[in-house]
Copies of this chain bind each other. A is one copy, B any other.
Amino acid sequence: MVTAIILMTVDRKRINELAQELADIEGVSECYSVGGSYDLVALIRVRDTESLADLVTRQMAHLEGIEHTETLIAFQAHSRHDLENMFSVGL
């Protein structure tokens, strides 16, 4: 399982449509409009990196109105009360 957080600044006029289009992409588990220096945040959970590459460079590439993206690929998940302390996200 690969986890990534995509931070986006977008065309303000398309913010709601875009958020919905992102949310409808398979692999986007959550999509938020946010305050701060970004407009939208998408949480990606896909099976493997082929799927991540496909999502970012093919499916998202066709959406109109995304001005800037920064993709943060997780290489470790940290969870509470974890007996083994940490486990890899299986990136």
Contact = CB atoms under 8 A, between A and B. Distances in A.
B80 A19 contact: no
Interface residues of A, number: 58
Given A53-B75, A73-B75, A37 B37 contact: yes
Interface of A: 2-5, 7, 12-13, 15-16, 19-20, 22-24, 28, 30-38, 41, 43, 48-50, 52-53, 56-58, 60-62, 66, 69-82, 85-86, 88-91
A90 to B, nearest CB: 7
A13 B79 CA distance: 19
A41 B58 CA distance: 18
A16 B35 CA distance: 21
